A and B are shown apart, each in its own frame.
Chain A
Amino acid sequence: MIEMLTALLTTAVLSGGVLAIASVGEVMAERVGVTNLGVEGLISVGAATAVLTAISTGNPWLALLAASAAGALGGMAFASAAVFVQASQVLCGLAVTFLGVGLSAVIGHSVAGMPVPVTFAPVSIPVLSALPIIGPAFFAQNLLIVPAYFLLPALCHWLLFHTRHGLNMRAVGENPAAADAAGIPVRAIRFWYVTLGAALAGAAGAYLSLAVIPSWSEGMVAGRGWIALALVIFAGFRPFSAAAGGLLFGLISAIGFLGQARGWPVAAPVLNMLPYLGTLAFIMLPAVFRRKGRRGGEAPAALGLPYFRSVR
């Protein structure tokens, strides 16, 4: 029993990391008032870039860096259009998804299906990895797990809720006109945090193609970007909840894997539906059962709205 739980949690932590990194990044973008629907495309680009870099340089850390840079570049393209030109965020986001999914397949064409020579190898952290169940899951897998679930959300939480800069960020997301009047550079803040979120989406892609499924193939992202977007809402726009949500969905897909491995009498495609159906349930249930004033986690007031200084 303990063995099965350990195996389940280990798989869950491993596959949920993609969602944790990407959704924490998207929390940052949405807190400053921009919905980036391009996450799916940015994860794709990150995954393909990481595999290409890993094959040509043989260094996974360089691959992670390259994937983040590619994500950031995509994010800058999105943010230039959505923040500086103020074009529709929905359209630009969908465009980035199309561009990213299409482009990653083109650049990854030559390495599709090839195993990656270097991956993030498992490293045991002394003492912590000896803990029962959670030890092997969190502290004996690859070195990105601890940053993904603990360091990154902690950093983002501290920045958002315990610094003056974080207060400014939230002001930009809630009321850009007031923030602008107070002298906060609305567009610059939006631009850079959207870019940061996109860089994290790229990093999530590298994590996916180097640690979870160590190869690149078309369609391997399989909607993880959209699940990450749903998680942000489910998590009430809070970094720690977003990372925890990533783990929860990792758990749901792990149950699917377990079912396949143990030969449950359910077809594999049906088991593969679980993460999507789970996301659907978890995005709908809180909305249905929400009581007025009982729960925080409302969306930033200016989320998705372009800010025009001239139109007051």
Chain B
Amino acid sequence: MSRFQRFPTAPARRILVCRAIAILVSVIVVSLLLAMSGRNVGELAHLVLTSTIGSRFGLEDLALFMTPLLLTGGAVTVTRRMGLWNIGGEGQFYLGAAGAAGVGLFIHGPAILILPLMALAAMLCGMIWILLPALARAFADVNEIITTLLLNFVAGLLVYWLATGPWRDRVTGALASTERLPVSIPDLWGVVHWGFPLALLIVGGLAAIMSSTRWGYEVRISGASAGMARYAGMPVRVRIISAMLLSGALAALAGMFEVAGTVHRLQGGMADNFGYLGIVVAVLARGSCLAVIPAAFLMALILDVGIVLQTQQVAATVVLAITGLVLLLVAIADECAHYRVVTPATGRTVRKAS
């Protein structure tokens, strides 16, 4: 008699197959819901394809969406290796944008000097923003999911306050935003700025740090088993704090790229869920830094679909619901990948082989 048995590890190929099924199922569910609400799914699909990978503008949009997602996804991945969740990417993104905008608005000079300074300020702000949750996690075992998340709301309000209060645009009187920043990241290809290749490079560098430095090794070991890491003499607390600080800096850098490359002003609500979507990217990447790249691509594709749907009078947040559906199904798929059909005969051979 054959039955399902759970195995502690799931091979990568099995996970890929299960996830492909999960994504297919979510596409079917979304199309069915759209069809039920009286929309022409075939036409929509055509529109989605031409406005994403089927045209130059679509590809440019994809790259623009991917840039912050690569960094926020990388940020969450770093903490995942440590066995932690940084759900505060949204807040660190805001702080990074605010720090960068502060430098850009109030320090004047050649772009070649100001841009690195903006990036530095952004990363510093992001690190400050995650410092308290990191310390609380390392020394008092306070759940970092809730602490990092609560700070997102504070950060959103802080940026809103800056953009409508002390830093508000006094020149054109634009609502809820600062003046246009005098410097911006130079464009590379159409509207795509140099932030995109830089973000790719950073993710590649992150993968190298994780796989081939002592720090990366110690973070991975501490994440896999804190007790063992402590026994081996690794400074687990210091690694928790440093991994979380790096994570905060990455998410903040995404904010700097967005404010200096795409939006050019500090505005309330400008993080646009990129911090939260970074969690989805990291989940899709399963803790591998290089896998963040295809994961960010998929997420950018979903965001693009959301824009197409928005032109069809569907609420903008539908993209959040679609993301939730994909995430739920992927979580289920990942668990299902652990199961295999075992017949008593193969069960015996497995035992013999091991």
Interface residue? A179 (CB, 8 A): no
* Complex Cα gap A20–B168 (Å): 38
The A-B contact count (CB < 8 A) is: 141
Cβ of A175 within 8 Å of any chain B Cβ, yes or no, is no
Q: How far is the CA of A91 from the CA of B323 in the complex (A)?
A: 12
Q: With A95-B331, A98-B327 given, is the CB distance from A267 to B165 under 8 Å?
A: yes
Whether A106 pairs with B315 at a CB distance below 8 angstroms is yes
* CB within 8 Å of B: which A95-154 residues: 95-103, 105-106, 109
Cβ-defined contact, A283 with B151, below 8 A: no
| B8, B140, B165, B280: residue with the most chain A Cβ atoms closer than 10 Å | B140
Instruction: Answer whether residue B161 sits at the interface, using C-beta atoms and an 8 A cutoff.
Output: yes
Q: Is the CB of A269 within 8 A of B328?
A: no
Contact of B142 among A96, A284, A311 (CB under 8 A): A284
Q: Which residue of A lies closest to B5 (CB)?
A: A310
Contact of B323 among A77, A98, A269 (CB under 8 A): A98
Question: Contact mask A72-103 → B, CB, 8 Å, 1/0?
Answer: 00000100010001111011101111111111
Given contacts A106-B318, A269-B161, contact A280 B336 (CB under 8 A): no
Judged by a CB distance under 8 angstroms, whether B276 is at the interface is yes
B320 CB-CB contact with A under 8 Å: yes
With both beta carbons as reference points, the residue of chain B lying nearest to A277 in the complex is identified as: B154
**B332 on the A face (CB < 8 A):** yes
What residues on B are CB-neighbors of A270 within 8 Å? 157, 161
| B-contacting residues, A160-187, CB 8 Å | none
Q: With a CB–CB cut-off of 8 A, which chain B residues contact A90?
A: 85, 145
- State which of A97, A102, A105, A222 has its C-beta within 8 Å of the C-beta of B153: A222
- Annotate B326-353 by CB proximity to A: 1 below 8 A, 0 otherwise: 0110111011100000000000000000
User: Is A229 an interface residue, CB under 8 A from the partner?
Assistant: yes
Complex formed: what's the CA distance from A218 to B320 in Å? 12
Q: Is A287 in the interface zone, CB < 8 Å from B?
A: yes
From A77, A98, A280, give the contact of B321 (CB < 8 A): A98
| Residues of B with C-beta under 8 A to A276 | 150-151, 153-154
Does B147 lie within 8 Å of A284, measured CB to CB?
Answer: yes
CB-defined contacts of A222 to chain B, threshold 8 Å: 153
Interface residues of B in 280-326 (CB under 8 A from A): 280, 283, 314-325
Evaluate contact between B317 and A91: CB separation under 8 angstroms.
no
Give residues of chain B (56-83) contacting chain A, Cβ–Cβ below 8 Å: none
- CB of B347, distance to nearest CB on chain A (Å): 12
Q: Does A215 count as interface, using CB distance less than 8 angstroms? A: no
22 example contacts (A-B, Cβ-Cβ < 8 A) are as follows A41-B324, A87-B334, A87-B335, A91-B331, A92-B332, A94-B279, A95-B328, A98-B320, A98-B327, A101-B320, A102-B317, A102-B322, A223-B153, A226-B146, A267-B165, A269-B164, A273-B153, A280-B147, A280-B151, A284-B136, A284-B147, A287-B141
Can you name 16 extra interface pairs (CB under 8 A) apart from A94-B324, A101-B324?
A88-B331, A91-B283, A91-B327, A94-B87, A95-B325, A98-B280, A101-B317, A103-B324, A105-B316, A105-B320, A218-B317, A227-B150, A269-B157, A273-B158, A280-B150, A283-B143
Report A's interface with B, CB cutoff 8 A.
37, 41, 77, 81, 85-88, 90-92, 94-103, 105-106, 109, 218, 222-223, 226-227, 229-230, 233, 267, 269-270, 272-273, 276-277, 279-280, 283-284, 287-288, 290, 308, 310-311
Closest 8 CB pairs of A and B: A102-B321, A98-B324, A99-B324, A102-B320, A95-B328, A105-B317, A95-B327, A269-B161
